[in-house]
Amino acid sequence: MSGARIKAPRGTFDVWGEEAGRRARLEAAARAILEGAGYERIETPAFEATELFARGVGESTDIVQKEMYTFEDGSGRSLTLRPEGTAPVCRAYVEHGMHKRAAPVKLWYLGSFFRYERAQAGRYRQFWQVGVEALGSEDPAVDAESITLMCALLEEMGVREGRLRVGSLGSGESRAEYRERLRAHLRAHEYELSAEVRGRIDSNPLRAFDSDHPGTRAVMESAPRLMHHLEREDREHFEAVCALLERAGVAHEVDDTLVRGLDYYTRTVFEYSSEALGAQSGVGGGGRYDGLVQELGGPRTPGIGWAAGVERMLLAGREPPARTGSLELYVGTSTGAPDAGAGRGAHAEARGAAFELLRDARSAGLSAQMEMAGRSPKGQRNHAHRVGARYLALVGADDRASLRDMEDGGERELAAAEVVHAVLQGLRRLS
Ligand code: HAM
């Protein structure tokens, strides 16, 4: 009996083969850069209490209003697949009393996130992010270091043709006053705005800067800019961040219309976009969220971080040359497939000896693989070439083996028990 085929849900994808290798290289690069800068890895659950995102990310955001995968569990609790990582990290910071640790507490993560968005190239419903959060310091050096690390990772992944935009959303009263001023401007032009922006004049007027709607865009041209209404402390903080970025040689543009899709931001915000991506041009972004930990029931704690999309980094990045020759030994049998000449007994004997050689090679620290698809000796040689093996050993039933240097084609006969030593010597791992 055969059933109808079942496909992966829209907006999701499988990772395998070469793609899995590219992602592993990205993870290794992220780990080297971030752990080298003192960030520690954190893992949080794939789902959280819905309230964490409603309160943390903000009720008026697209994410909370239309993009969350929310469900009730068996006991009627409302849970949500995490749409982003900052609120969960802050939840963990409060839950584990991390404020008692030396500040700033620096954490990084790599994981999958879920948003019910219109699926298209570069925009998925399950996607991966690399992210960092630094909690406990409002020093502008933390902002500049965080941004510099994001740029270092993007550069390492070959992401170019990019623009880094930075801005400041200010804080406290000046921000509240500015919102009122912006609301007044929007109300004065209410009928030129898109229905969506009109519906959010009260709850989230800043998002109007992000609209593609032509009428809204025209209205925003003449809208007051928050950056012109910053309090002195916020302006000085922002100037210090920009000066440090200059010192670090990080190219950036100040954008006084930059707003982000999450409500928790205060002061510094930034976004890196790449022309190489087309419509979904945002590769990574983040900012400061000095009120979020307190909003989630913790002590007053400033924080800053960013996240970059794994799929977007790989789409926008230039592939570094694939490493070849990382497989040191391919082990096969000179008997080949059992029905291709040699008797079953002899083949079983040779396969046993080959399996032993595989174990010995691996315990000597060699990267080794063994033939497991019944190829003939010639087929095994072709396959060893295909997988980039440096040496090929074909073991016979008599505990003898032929060892082939796949680079120069040289071949010699020796006892199977001597193969590991010969390969190590060939690789100059023995003096
Ligand atoms: P975000 O801008 O919403 O920020 O997402 C960060 C990155 O995740 C985006 O720049 C993009 O590369 C990727 N991304 C977002 N949605 C999708 C999607 N549907 N498909 C593929 N990639 C996507 C945050 O999530 C904040 N938590 C960043 C942050 C950390 N701010 C402070 N700390």
Of ligand 1's atoms, which has the minimum distance to the CA of residue 261?
3
Side chain identity at residue 375, one-letter code: R
Confidence of residue 213 (pLDDT cuts 50, 70, 90): very high
Question: What is the structure's pLDDT at 419?
Answer: 97
Question: What is the structure's pLDDT at 336?
Answer: 73
Side chain identity at residue 341, one-letter code: G
Higher pLDDT, 1 or 345: 345
Separation of alpha carbons 395 and 238, rounded Å: 68
Separation of alpha carbons 141 and 39, rounded Å: 15
**Percent share of the chain, pLDDT over 70:** 96
Question: What is the structure's pLDDT at 175?
Answer: 85
Q: What is the CB < 6 Å shell around ligand 1? A: 84-86, 115, 117, 123-124, 127, 129, 131, 133, 261-262, 282-287, 305-309, 311-312
Confidence of residue 149 (pLDDT cuts 50, 70, 90): very high
Q: How far is CA 289 from CA 65, 67, 184, 309, 417, in A?
A: 20, 21, 26, 20, 62
Of ligand 1's atoms, which has the minimum distance to the CA of residue 129?
8
Q: How far is the CA of 390 from the centre of ligand 1 (A)?
A: 41
Separation of alpha carbons 227 and 170, rounded Å: 8
Residue 104 has pLDDT above 60, yes or no: yes
Confidence of residue 429 (pLDDT cuts 50, 70, 90): low
pLDDT (mean) for 188-195: 94
Q: Which residues contact 345 (CB under 8 A, 6 or more apart)?
A: none
Least confident of 158-167, 171-180, 367-376, 384-393: 171-180
pLDDT (mean) for 330-347: 78
Q: How far is the CA of 122 from the centre of ligand 1 (A)?
A: 12
Of ligand 1's atoms, which has the minimum distance to the CA of residue 83?
25
pLDDT (mean) for 44-51: 98
Backbone CA torsion sign across 360, 366, 367, 368: negative
Residue 156 has pLDDT above 80, yes or no: yes
In 140-269, which residue ranges form alpha helices assigned H by DSSP? 140-156, 172-188, 195-199, 214-221, 232-247
| E strand map for 20-145 | 40-41, 47-49, 70-72, 78-81, 105-114, 126-135
CA angle 146, 151, 156 (to 5 degrees): 125
Confidence of residue 337 (pLDDT cuts 50, 70, 90): low
Confidence of residue 173 (pLDDT cuts 50, 70, 90): confident
Question: What is the structure's pLDDT at 377?
Answer: 93
Best residue among 13, 114, 127, 310 to mutate for probing ligand 1's pocket (most ligand atoms within 8 Å of CB) is: 127
**Backbone region of residue 219 per phi and psi (left: phi > 0; alpha: psi in -120 to 50; beta: other values):** alpha
Residue 267 has pLDDT above 70, yes or no: yes
Q: How far is the CA of 219 from the centre of ligand 1 (A)?
A: 27
Confidence of residue 4 (pLDDT cuts 50, 70, 90): very high
Q: Report yes or no: 268 and 257 within 8 Å, Cβ to Cβ.
A: no
Secondary structure percentages of the chain, helix, strand, coil, to 5: 40, 20, 35
pLDDT (mean) for 256-265: 91
pLDDT (mean) for 286-304: 97
H/E element holding 309? strand 303-309
Q: How far is the CA of 84 from the centre of ligand 1 (A)?
A: 7
φ, ψ at 250 (rounded to 5°)? -95, 110
Of ligand 1's atoms, which has the minimum distance to the CA of residue 308?
7
pLDDT tens for residues 311-323? 999 999 986 555 5
pLDDT (mean) for 251-280: 91
Question: What is the structure's pLDDT at 346?
Answer: 87
Torsion angle, CA of 71/72/78/82, rounded to 10 degrees? -30
Q: How distant is the alpha carbon of residue 148 from its chain centre?
A: 16
Which residue, by CA, sits nearest to atom 20 of ligand 1?
Answer: 123
Residue 145 has pLDDT above 60, yes or no: yes
Which residue, by CA, sits nearest to atom 22 of ligand 1?
Answer: 309
Q: Which residue has the tokens 């020796």?
A: 414
Question: What is the structure's pLDDT at 319?
Answer: 67
Q: What is the mean pLDDT of the chain?
A: 93
Return the CA Rg of the chain. 29
Question: What is the structure's pLDDT at 364?
Answer: 94
State whether residue 326 is helix, strand or coil. coil
> Starting at the edge strand that comes first in sequence, how are the strands of the sheet with 411-415 ordered?
368-370, 327-333, 389-395, 400-405, 411-415
Q: How far is the CA of 284 from the centre of ligand 1 (A)?
A: 6
Q: How far is the CA of 129 from the centre of ligand 1 (A)?
A: 7
Q: How far is the CA of 248 from the centre of ligand 1 (A)?
A: 25
Q: Which residue has the tokens 């968005």?
A: 117
